[in-house]
């Protein structure tokens, strides 16, 4: 199907427009519109995933073997001595993002189902939700930095309003905190983006500008002509293309971020500083210690569907962004700072888990467990081995499913009693047996029990992290050793919580809650059952996902090692 990715990205936007156009009298249709448009998107994504050829090895630093590519010139302009600047509408999938697109489809659809019970200001709610869907999906498939940044920034606004209007008691504080933190991060990314596009040229467009036919010259010919100065500087077309930015041959000789030109700033090579800026930008989104403090607030205040989307998919934008930009574009700096990233990852794992141990609010506990689990993503990336990176991607995918389920579970109990304090419940297993089963599955999946997707992910990350020292020497093995403590702590906080809330004699703090404590409704089954199936399926049959990402990851690792 032509323009498949465009359909995937913009169908929710069309849904949002339909919601806006539907008069208030048909209010009940809004949620139907939301579910059907995200459902249609999910179907298209499934179609895209099935037609995705996992065997094709993408180039990472070029457009070779990119699948479902869509490219059209958006605008190009000349700015005095700045030279030409061209922005493309450029979408495509390869092994690095196909899994994220799939995850986004699943989580956004389930999130839309979770929105079923929204009571007030429905029109605004559903249009904002669908707007958010478009920007998240766009973020994962956009391969032009300008386009990527557009989608990346545009996630903030709907999220700000969704938390700020429909959230809990401290929603306004949480919303502005979320907004400011993420904006600060994206400004850092913007700084690097400006630096990158001023340093990178598009060889194909440059050839066009210089009047050379691509039929006669290969891209490498053009690159060497630019390097030797045979093509005039004014004819070099600067580019926002994220894939071109990954190829060090595409850097204008002598430009600030050029590898050979290594300018310095504060005594450090500028490339390294740029890497750190982009790392912090996405680490805020991920979130990693010490930039994680917005997350517990946002999660606690956000309504259930928003927590699902936030934990399930928005955090993954941070991880994906790191892979696609920071690592692919600055592999040398990534290698140099591998110890730092690995350390932050390790620290986040332990620190998040310890914080989770201390929480009294169920949602806060899950939020801190997210910080802990996203630490694995950093650790896996820092290892710079194919197991590590596969593990990182697998962890993002698996955490997307598991954390969605965890927040849905927290939402179930909150819907009934409007209280999430762990200490206020006891022995719920007697009153809510079916619910308890699902909670058990989610908790065990999250603490990394074999048979669930989280286990595979963490296993791969540890394998990669252990091997790293001998294969590539990015991070020392003790980081992996220390990180395994995180598993023990995770088992601790989950089992404790499970014991306190579900085992023992049935007891709740307020008597009036008892009649409200009914077991799962059909609507809740509809969300939880598919997630359980997926978590187990990806736990026992990992090649479902690995087949999609393997060749991409291999090529990514080759790209990294070749540029160190």
Residues in contact with another protein by CB under 8 A are: 74-82, 85, 149-150, 153-154, 156-157, 160-161, 164-165, 171-172, 175-176, 179-180, 183-184, 187, 190-191, 194-195, 197-198, 255-256, 265
Q: What is the 3-state secondary structure (H, E, C) of 14-34?
A: HHHHHHHHCCHHHCCHHHHHH
Smallest distance, another protein to C-beta of residue 191, A = 5
The smaller minimum CB distance to another protein, of residues 154 and 217, is found at 154
Rounded distance between C-alpha atoms, residue 325 and residue 185, angstroms = 14
The smaller minimum CB distance to another protein, of residues 37 and 199, is found at 199
The smaller minimum CB distance to another protein, of residues 109 and 151, is found at 151
Smallest distance, another protein to C-beta of residue 66, A = 24
Smallest distance, another protein to C-beta of residue 265, A = 8
Rounded distance between C-alpha atoms, residue 373 and residue 275, angstroms = 23
CB 88 within 8 A of CB 71: yes
Report which secondary-structure segment, H or E, holds 106: helix 98-114
Smallest distance, another protein to C-beta of residue 321, A = 16
Smallest distance, another protein to C-beta of residue 226, A = 17
The smaller minimum CB distance to another protein, of residues 233 and 360, is found at 233
The smaller minimum CB distance to another protein, of residues 256 and 479, is found at 256
Smallest distance, another protein to C-beta of residue 476, A = 34
DSSP 297-310: HHHHHS-HHHHHHI
Reading the block at residue 185, the tokens are 């991060």
Smallest distance, another protein to C-beta of residue 216, A = 30
C-alpha distances out from residue 466 to 309, 456, 458, 521, Å: 32, 15, 12, 45
Burial class (CB in 10 A: 0-12, 13-18, 19+), 80: exposed
The smaller minimum CB distance to another protein, of residues 67 and 182, is found at 182
Smallest distance, another protein to C-beta of residue 82, A = 4
Smallest distance, another protein to C-beta of residue 244, A = 17
Rounded distance between C-alpha atoms, residue 99 and residue 503, angstroms = 37
The smaller minimum CB distance to another protein, of residues 69 and 183, is found at 183
The smaller minimum CB distance to another protein, of residues 162 and 546, is found at 162
C-alpha distances out from residue 250 to 26, 455, 487, Å: 54, 40, 43
The smaller minimum CB distance to another protein, of residues 233 and 418, is found at 233
Torsions phi, psi for 239 (to 5 deg): -140, 145
- 39-61 as b/e, with b when 16 or more CB fall inside 10 Å? bbbbebbeebbeebebebbbbbb
Rounded distance between C-alpha atoms, residue 424 and residue 427, angstroms = 11
Rounded distance between C-alpha atoms, residue 513 and residue 368, angstroms = 27
Q: What is the dihedral of CA 352, 491, 384, 46, to 10 degrees?
A: -100
Rounded distance between C-alpha atoms, residue 294 and residue 486, angstroms = 22
Smallest distance, another protein to C-beta of residue 387, A = 37
Reading the block at residue 283, the tokens are 């680490």
The smaller minimum CB distance to another protein, of residues 194 and 544, is found at 194
């Amino acid at each position: 199907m032509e323009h498949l990715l465009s359909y995937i990205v913009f169908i929710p936007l069309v849904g949002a427009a339909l919601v806006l156009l539907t008069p208030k009298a048909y209010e009940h249709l809004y949620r139907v519109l939301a579910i059907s448009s995200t459902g249609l998107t999910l179907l298209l994504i499934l179609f895209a995933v099935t037609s995705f050829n996992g065997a094709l090895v993408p180039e990472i630093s070029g457009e070779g073997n990119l699948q479902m590519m869509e490219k059209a010139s958006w605008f190009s302009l000349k700015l005095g001595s700045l030279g030409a600047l061209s922005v493309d509408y450029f979408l495509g999938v390869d092994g690095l993002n196909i899994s994220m697109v799939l995850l986004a489809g699943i989580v956004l659809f389930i999130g839309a189902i979770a929105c079923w019970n929204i009571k007030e200001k429905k029109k605004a709610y559903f249009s904002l939700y669908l707007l958010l869907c478009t920007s998240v999906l766009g973020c994962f498939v956009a391969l032009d930095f300008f386009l990527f940044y557009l989608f990346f920034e545009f996630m903030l606004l709907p999220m700000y309003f969704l938390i700020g209007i429909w959230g809990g008691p401290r929603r306004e504080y949480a919303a502005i905190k979320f907004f400011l933190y993420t904006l600060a991060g994206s400004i850092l990314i913007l700084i690097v983006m400006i630096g990158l596009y001023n340093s990178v040229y598009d060889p194909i467009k440059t050839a066009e500008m210089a009047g050379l036919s691509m039929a006669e010259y290969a891209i490498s010919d053009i690159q060497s002509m630019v390097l030797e100065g045979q093509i005039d500087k004014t004819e070099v077309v600067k580019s926002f293309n994220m894939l071109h930015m990954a190829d060090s041959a595409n850097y204008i000789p002598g430009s600030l971020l050029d590898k050979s030109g290594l300018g310095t700033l504060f005594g450090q090579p500028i490339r390294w500083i740029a890497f750190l800026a982009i790392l912090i930008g996405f680490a805020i989104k991920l979130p990693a210690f010490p930039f994680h403090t917005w997350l517990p607030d946002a999660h606690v205040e956000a309504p259930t569907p928003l927590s699902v989307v936030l934990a399930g998919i928005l955090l993954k934008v941070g991880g994906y962004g790191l892979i696609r930009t920071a690592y692919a574009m600055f592999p040398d700096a990534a290698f140099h700072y591998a110890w730092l990233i690995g350390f932050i990852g390790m620290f986040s794992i332990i620190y998040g888990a310890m914080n989770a141990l201390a929480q009294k609010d169920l949602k806060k506990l899950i939020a801190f467990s997210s910080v802990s689990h996203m630490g694995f993503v950093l650790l896996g990336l820092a290892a710079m081995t194919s197991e590590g990176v596969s593990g990182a991607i697998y962890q993002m995918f698996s955490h997307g499913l598991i954390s969605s389920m965890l927040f849905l579970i927290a939402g179930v109990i909150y819907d009934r009693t409007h209280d999430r304090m762990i200490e206020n419940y006891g022995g719920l297993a007697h009153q809510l047996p079916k619910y308890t089963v699902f909670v058990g599955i989610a908790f065990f999946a999250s603490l990394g029990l074999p048979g669930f997707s989280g286990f595979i992910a963490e296993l791969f990350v540890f394998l990669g992290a252990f091997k790293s020292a001998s294969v590539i020497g990015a991070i020392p093995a003790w980081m992996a050793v220390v990180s395994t403590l995180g598993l023990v702590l995770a088992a601790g906080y989950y089992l404790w919580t499970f014991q306190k809330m579900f085992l023992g004699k049935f007891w709740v703090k307020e008597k009036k809650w008892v009649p409200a404590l009914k077991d799962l409704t059909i609507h809740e089954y509809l969300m939880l059952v598919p997630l359980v199936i997926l978590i187990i399926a990806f736990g026992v049959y990992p090649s479902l996902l690995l087949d999609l990402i393997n060749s991409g990851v291999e090529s990514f690792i080759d790209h990294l090692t070749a540029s160190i």
